Structure 1
């Protein structure tokens, strides 16, 4: 019995040429030169802000950062497919979703600087804060989608995660619940080929897009470095969710060009040749080549994009440096919703420890 081969949907080739007659092309017939330039601007801004945050961590101004370098098309393309009422559950790398949902870059740093438990109010942007527990957001998104359906809300709910999260039990449970209840969830897997130092081949001997079929959920594989293709397939899946068609699984095949986080050294587990292979498929370069082919890019536009990217990066830096350090004892706040004797005891012990520093002063 022959295996079904899932060829990723592609609308723009790495050299910038369009793929004529490709599936899902009908979803993006409204995307003209102006819209393409907007997608390009989004990706350039995201990369510049991401680089600024990485620099801030190296300078000791952020505790940690999860770079999105190389995954701009997956994030921007899917984000621009959504409606304002749609709700997004992210992991810890979806900075592009924060940008497209309207979160000002100055509000991104608190959690990463270690001075707050969150960065923004999720209700204001219909976007959750970064989720560090791998795969847990799949269950959260499924529950939200089930509740939204009961309330009669015609929305799509997005759950973002990486290839490594597909090995987590939480995600399998989410797929099972979503399939059984017809939840309007789009499970968006950014397959960036590496779960920290573990290659995707160790997560599954088969393409990840084949996994949801065991739950009765349709899967779509897409070239995750092709922003137009990502936009097209996400529009299809999100519309299906809004119309009551149930869940869809998207595998966006991309590549993490930087480290897993700023605590990681990727040179210890992957080769320079591999990185060069994917650098030739850079999502921003791909869209730039398309714009040049179609005479939709000039120096004035390029300068404007660079200026906007710089302004966003400066806003992120200013927001990070303006954050005051929290009082030490606030680490015990919000651990439990109600008073807890163990927390009270630990707070008292730590308070006494802090008092020893005051006693040591002359």
Structure 2
């Protein structure tokens, strides 16, 4: 299969598909695969891997994987650095000079994910006014990164399995079998083996995806790497925001070592970025350890009859709001990740967010 080149096939592509389709393809290439420009700001190895035993193993596995084209599965909690490792893997592989194509699986509606991945033919469905190449074709000769692959539905999993088996696929609404040469790297922040037991993820697909598995530990399990990570983010955001570097006090560093970091490295990065802007350690500490609100139980006047059912309902609702708030912050504002973390449906979470007025100040996706 020969994909259109920017020089030789540009005019022909415009004649066949129209300028709107060409514009869409160029935008997709820029958004989903910026080539080497995506990797110019990758952290150095001492920051990415630190000194923990688990990360040393991850580093060794990444070096092995970079020398092959087999599929790689990155596993770990949200915010542990799976995206960074996927970029490092691509940059250090033989495909590193090709554009990088990333698909954030849960961010694309189920009704659109097949077309986004595999493309569609003109007239395949209402609104398909021209042929469109999907991310799979854009990744021809390069790396396709499927972030949070556990979010794919079973129908798309079947087409992905076929792609992994022989590199073939068909566009939505198409009859022609197309072939690509790509390397698939995927990530998961959930236990895919458990999802196979539940019937929501294909076991044969899991076996195809995890030819090499790289496990990333949570930040709380590599707390000795905290000083290096803090120093890196301090200098990075001080430079980008043009602020003077303000080292943290030993008291704050001690408290940070005791923190559980539910949002992992992403949460640390967000805290340091805010600190660089505000410059107040008290605000940073307050973000990690919010002051406890007055105990409402002690404020209940039991000297007169009360409605136990109403009090219990009110306190349960407030506790639920606080749990949602903390998980939502730890998941970087992602509603879908929060719903999975709380083991509730996305619809249920949206309903609860509609009632949780105290969450209005949190930015969500």
Name the TM-score, length of structure 2 as normaliser: 0.31
Which structure exhibits the higher relative contact order, with contacts defined as CA atoms closer than 8 Å and separated by 6 or more residues?
Answer: 1
Larger Rg: 2
